[in-house]
Amino acid sequence: MPPDDLNPSNEPPTSSSSDPQAQNSGEGMLKLPEILPILPLRGLVVYPQTMVPLTIGQPRSIRLIDDIVAGERLFGLVASKVFDIETPGPEHLFQVGTAAIIHRMFRAPDGTIRLLVQGLVRFRITEFTTTEPYLMARVEVLPEILETGLQVEALERNVREQFMRMAELIPSIPRELVATIAAIPDPLQLVYNIANIQRMDINDAQEILELNRISEKLQKLVTILAREIEVLELSQKIQKEARSEIDKVQREYFLREQLKAIQRELGEGDEQAAEIEEFRKRIEAAKMPEEAEKQARRELDRLAKLPTAAAEYGVIRTYLDWLVSLPWSITTPDNLDIQNARRVLDEDHYGLEDIKERILEFLAVRKLRQDRREALQAEDSTDYIRREREGVILCFVGPPGVGKTSLGQSIARALGRKFVRISLGGMRDEAEIRGHRRTYIGAMPGRIIQALRRVESRNPVFMLDEIDKLGVDFRGDPASALLEVLDPEQNAEFRDNYIEVAFDLSQVMFITTANTLETIPAPLLDRMEVIQLSGYTENEKLNIARYYLIPRQIRENGLKPEEIEFTDEAILNIIRHYTREAGVRNLEREIGGVCRKVAVQITEGKATQVRVDPERVREFLGRPKYLATQEIIRRTEIPGVAIGLAWTPVGGEILFVEATRMPGSKGFITTGSVGKVMQESAQAALSYVRSHAVELGIDPDIFEKSDIHLHVPAGAQPKDGPSAGVTIATALVSLLTGRLVRHDVGMTGEITLRGQVLPVGGIKEKVLAAHRAGLKTVILPKDNEGDLEDLSEEIRQAIDFVLVETVDEVLQHALEQAVAEPASSPAS
């Protein structure tokens, strides 16, 4: 039994109209004691002139009943505002209740007491006198305001009609009770008896009790009954619709069974038999491996034994459809003509010679292996039966817009294979790779199997884009699921959770792309051969724009080649002043913007042919977006500013390091979203400068009287890494000696406390960034000399490279010889 003070028992309520005592007990005939014991009720309101069965289980309530049962058996029943409090206090009770008398009492074996009580009259609690051992309160009788007239008569008739309608919708209400209540002549007694059996919210039930006028009580009850009838009619309508739907399904089932029997008698096959036979033929034609074929036939036998109306029928049918649709034995022949592949790659991409050579090596190895396999097969040797791996998994890593995805398409075109691509960016669910188990509703295979079914080949070029942007959450780790897919030793037995049988991925040529290697898990990275794609030089961008981007944008914007002409100066102007990127994606956007402006002029009849030169570029694209060389000169015209080179996932960038000092005492702060590693490099640079102050021509007392502030502008962009060490040291020496840093010099390298310059990574991207910014000299660590071989001849001719081993060599090449201002004066 729930821990209530009182709960309504399961006995049906009894109307007081059949009780002579209830009919004769009016408000004028009953005088209540001044102080009355109060019994809290949970979820129940007792009305005057009604009989209600109650069950009592709380010790406090049992004590109250024991005390009053020997006397007048009179007590107050008050509803609790809060249902979940076992022993409500005065603050939890309503102020209006019903005085009641006990007619019958029965003690159950479990200690509870069952009562039959009759409500007598309403009362209001004026104050609680005691709370222990049970509640006692001072009360006053609330008389009812009885009314007559047409309005009361109309409301009374409406209540009776609604109650009869509700009784028709609820068969569980006894017919005798309905007849008894319908015959009650007194409207007040009618309201209380209907409210006693009507299910309603505790606040609505209490409101009916508290309303003083009979017309208000009738109006409230009309509203409640109208809503209840509406709910019951809607529920009955829903039940009828559900029942009719069930009857329809059963009828269709019986008709289908009869149809099957008739077709068997006539020797004709039904739809299900035809579908089973169709699946059997497709299984034969799919040429599955033994394991997959055995699984397919097992599921087909189960399908044949199930009725089509069964829920599992659709699940098995969908599974079989996936099995027979996969390209178990469908391949496309490889075109291993090396000259054709070279021509295709050159048509699609300018430059990228190292990448093209690696792809041609891959194709050459495949051709030699195929020739050897055909020779062994001709000799009837069993060696050719051995499974050969497809080879390495290629991973193209480079900044956006350098052609990683389009390289995969070119490889597929050169090989004559089909191309399929899926994006892994933001993928967090392992089931996206391995699929869902068939036990789940709406289960389906992973995206690997889905793509192979879509492309209808088991040896396509399969590109997994943005592999560095995989996520992980409570649904699993997709990167770990890819370990099996991208391992040539394992992917011949790849098992999707939905398909359940092994599918051979060893003939698929997987290519992945990424902007950075930092976020790729080490075990996954170990399975791939990384090919770095660096940014393009200015000359390469010019040729890409001339031969690839401009023709495509002319075509896409509805122009003809003779209607627009770009000069080389205009293209270089766009490259230098409107884009500053490693790739050519934004360059193509800006060229498209020019083409659209020209299209407007041609459609308006203002021109028939437009020659785009630097002046027209400014007219079409507006003011330049990026700094010119003069801006770099302006920012480095005071001591304490040096130009560094940085690597980012979107290519190389130049960054300025600024230092200043003010009166203070050895303070040193770094700002500009600088990471922990870069802060430590700044500390190391300061320590080096302080320890070599005399050799550098710096007054050692400056540090005792100064605070130094190091700032790296573009403060909203996070920066980290040790390669800014030489730049920070140069900026500090420039500040403290008053010597300017050369405006055409960029530098990179990590420093030690002894002043050695250590090698760093990303040299090619950093040098390309320096070239884009117009720098003439780049200072690099001596140990990075080998990285210069990766640069094109154009870059090596345009930039003077200074290879250094110590900070002294850096300062010698980076600082101007003339003294701009005395070293002892504080910076402004």
Task: Name the binding residues.
Answer: 398-405
SS3 sequence, 493-518?
A: HEECCCCCCEECCCCCEEEEEECCCC
CA max distance for the chain: 122
> Cis peptide leading into 48, omega within 30 of 0?
no
- Residue 776 among the catalytic residues: no
If you search the block for the tokens 């190292």, which residue do you land on?
354
CB atoms within 10 A of CB 388: 14
Q: Exposure of 733 by Cβ count < 10 A (0-12 exposed, 13-18 middle, 19+ buried)? A: buried
SS3 sequence, 338-395?
A: HHHHHHHHHHHCCCCHHHHHHHHHHHHHHHHHHHHHHHHHHCCCCHHHCCCCCCCEEE
The active-site residue out of 25, 706, 766, 792 is 766
Q: To which H or E segment does residue 587 belong?
A: helix 585-603
Return d(Cα 548, Cα 495) in angstroms, integer. 42
Q: Exposure of 444 by Cβ count < 10 A (0-12 exposed, 13-18 middle, 19+ buried)? A: middle
For 86, the token pair is: 């076992």
Q: Are 820 and 788 in contact (CB under 8 A)?
A: no
Backbone angles phi, psi at 781, to 5 degrees: -65, 145
Would the CA dihedral through 246, 252, 258, 264 be positive or negative?
negative
Looking at 108-191, which runs of residues are DSSP E strands? 113-130, 135-141
Nearest C-alpha neighbor of 728 from the set 790, 681, 660, 776: 681
Q: Are 211 and 200 in contact (CB under 8 A)?
A: no
Return d(Cα 308, Cα 327) in angstroms, integer. 28
Q: Are 77 and 93 in contact (CB under 8 A)?
A: no
Q: Are 795 and 771 in contact (CB under 8 A)?
A: yes
- Residue 687 among the catalytic residues: no
In sequence order, what are the residues at sequence separation of 6 or more whose Cβ sits closer than 8 angstroms to the Cβ of residue 511? 393, 394, 395, 396, 407, 408, 411, 461, 462, 463, 464
Return d(Cα 192, Cα 196) in angstroms, integer. 6
CB atoms within 10 A of CB 608: 9
CB atoms within 10 A of CB 237: 10
**Phi-psi domain of 799 (left: phi exceeds 0; alpha: psi -120 through 50; beta: other):** beta
Angle (CA) 102-195-207 rounded to 5° is 95
The active-site residue out of 15, 723, 734, 792 is 723
For 215, the token pair is: 């017309």
If you search the block for the tokens 């950075």, which residue do you land on?
516
Return d(Cα 538, Cα 505) in angstroms, integer. 41
- Displacement of CA 107 from its chain's centroid (Å): 61
Q: Are 231 and 144 in contact (CB under 8 A)?
A: no
Nearest C-alpha neighbor of 185 from the set 156, 214, 158, 165: 156
Return d(Cα 296, Cα 299) in angstroms, integer. 5
Identify the DSSP state of 55: E
Question: 608 vs 326, 557, 558, 603, CA distance in Å?
Answer: 54, 15, 14, 9
* Binding-site entries for ATP: 398-405
CB atoms within 10 A of CB 805: 15
Residues serving a catalytic function are 723, 766
